[in-house]
């Protein structure tokens, strides 16, 4: 085969050299070991990649513990609350909508002065010495019910024989873009369990209420109707945002929950109604802040310490910053014994949580208390005190 020049292919073409010339030389050179050998630590690379990633996949197992679980969809008499239904019954699948939520980036309500702390008996806490430290914290949606899967866990029942469930969120949760109202990076996300009132066909429908606080920390309970929310929306109703109460100490870079949110479910039946209660915000721990407080004055501190100030540090004045470091994955603080070590695969941290969703009778309600106080075991003392006739070693074996 012969390669023709361009001028032989076309009269107007110009002959060009299509190949670059390579100069071959034979000059000796030193072989430097530091140029050709690099020692890699797989552990260091793994830790660096895990710390650089703030993407989570959240999954887990949950149990629904309540007399309302497994009941008929309407209640006629008090005994209906104690008779399990095998089909067409209330359960975790049809009684709740689940959202994944985070502390809101803005909009917290300040509780004036130390009024709430005095009501809570927390004025002795050394962290809370500032003039105004109480806030109503609100939440925003990160994942909707359509992003949430829940299903019966195979071969899994609790000690009461009720079915346990597995759950997971179908989307990745990147928390690197989220900060709360005080510019704190997120250390927790929350599973928000929104109860769905049943339209009781025999009596009036179920009702649901929530706790709310005034700007001086006085709590009250108001009725509301659940709303459908989208990603970025505040957890709210037409009567306002839903939150809890936290304490915040700016100079200590510290905040903690003082009062959780409580939901109340009212279930009517022939003799009146019962009140049940539960906490709708269930935490998922992402990470922890270290116990040690860091404080830097940029006017007097060395340069290498000043440049180490993290993006989330709190500015106390023009030159002073305070913060607490975020504990690395796999590290446990020796003073507080806290830390997390979640599996890290495919650039994601896999957070497993084993949670219990419990709805209990509100015995502070007089009518509910009076209904349940009539239940006592002494009426069946003969049965209770009767000696067993079987052998404990036969438990779990087929009946004879």
**359-370 pLDDT, tens digit each:** 999 999 999 999
Confidence of residue 125 (pLDDT cuts 50, 70, 90): very low
**142-192 pLDDT, tens digit each:** 999 999 999 999 888 877 778 899 999 999 999 999 999 999 999 999 999
Helix, strand, or coil here: 371?
helix
Q: Give the pLDDT confidence score for residue 41 in this predicted structure.
A: 80
Residue 27 vs residues 31, 32, 35, 36, 317: alpha-carbon distances, Å = 13, 16, 19, 19, 64
Q: Give the pLDDT confidence score for residue 150 in this predicted structure.
A: 95
**385-399 pLDDT, tens digit each:** 566 566 656 665 666
Q: Please state the pTM of the whole predicted model.
A: 0.81
Q: Give the pLDDT confidence score for residue 391 in this predicted structure.
A: 63
Is 121 a residue whose pLDDT tops 60? Answer: no
**53-80 pLDDT, tens digit each:** 999 999 999 999 999 998 888 888 898 8
Confirm if 102 and 140 have CB atoms less than 8 A apart.
yes
Top pLDDT among 211 and 239 is at 211
Mean of pLDDT values over 319-338? 89
Q: Give the pLDDT confidence score for residue 369 in this predicted structure.
A: 93
Confidence of residue 333 (pLDDT cuts 50, 70, 90): confident
Q: Give the pLDDT confidence score for residue 186 in this predicted structure.
A: 95
- CA separation for the pair 336, 365 (Å, rounded): 38
Mean of pLDDT values over 79-105? 91
Structure tokens at 27: 């000059």
Helix, strand, or coil here: 202?
coil
Kindly report the average pLDDT of the chain as a whole number: 84
Q: Give the pLDDT confidence score for residue 34 in this predicted structure.
A: 55
Give Cβ neighbours of residue 156 (< 8 Å, ≥ 6 apart): 61, 163, 164, 166
Longest dimension (CA), the chain: 119
Pairing of β 173-174 and β 163-169: unpaired
Q: Give the pLDDT confidence score for residue 119 in this predicted structure.
A: 45
**248-268 pLDDT, tens digit each:** 988 889 998 989 999 999 999
């Amino acid at each position: 085969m012969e390669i023709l020049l361009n001028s032989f292919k076309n009269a107007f073409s110009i002959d060009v050299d299509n190949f670059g010339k390579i100069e071959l030389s034979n000059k000796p050179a030193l072989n430097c070991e530091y140029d050709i050998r690099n020692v890699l630590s797989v552990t260091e690379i793994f830790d660096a990649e895990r710390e650089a990633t703030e993407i989570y996949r959240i999954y887990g197992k949950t149990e629904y513990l309540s007399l309302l679980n497994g009941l008929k969809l309407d209640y006629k008499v008090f005994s209906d609350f104690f008779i399990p239904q095998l089909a067409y019954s209330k359960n975790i699948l049809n009684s709740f909508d689940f959202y994944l939520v985070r502390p809101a980036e803005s909009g917290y309500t300040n509780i004036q002065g130390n009024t709430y702390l005095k009501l809570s008996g927390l004025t002795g806490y050394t962290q809370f010495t500032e003039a105004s430290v109480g806030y109503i914290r609100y939440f925003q949606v990160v994942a909707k019910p359509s992003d949430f899967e829940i299903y019966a866990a195979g071969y899994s029942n609790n000690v009461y024989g009720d079915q346990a469930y597995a759950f997971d969120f179908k989307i990745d949760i990147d928390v690197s873009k989220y900060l709360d109202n005080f510019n704190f990076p997120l250390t927790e996300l929350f599973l928000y369990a929104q109860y769905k009132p049943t339209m009781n066909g025999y009596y009036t429908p179920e009702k649901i209420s929530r706790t709310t606080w005034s700007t001086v920390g006085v709590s009250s309970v108001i009725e509301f109707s659940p709303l459908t929310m989208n990603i970025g929306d505040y957890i709210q109703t037409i009567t306002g945002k839903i939150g809890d109460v936290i304490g915040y100490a700016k100079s200590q870079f510290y905040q903690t929950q003082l009062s959780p949110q409580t939901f109340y479910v009212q279930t009517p039946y022939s003799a009146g109604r019962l009140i049940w209660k539960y906490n709708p915000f269930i935490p998922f721990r992402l990470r922890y802040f270290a116990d040690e407080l860091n404080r830097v004055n940029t006017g007097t501190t060395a340069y290498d310490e000043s440049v180490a100030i993290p993006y989330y540090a709190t500015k106390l004045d023009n030159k002073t910053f305070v913060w607490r470091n975020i504990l690395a994955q796999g590290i446990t603080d020796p003073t507080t014994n806290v830390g997390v070590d979640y599996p890290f695969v495919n650039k994601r941290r896999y957070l497993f949580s084993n949670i219990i969703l419990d709805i209990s009778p509100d015995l502070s309600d007089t009518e509910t208390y009076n209904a349940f106080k009539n239940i006592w075991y002494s009426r069946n003392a003969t049965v209770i005190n009767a000696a067993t006739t079987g052998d404990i070693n036969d438990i779990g074996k087929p009946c004879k």
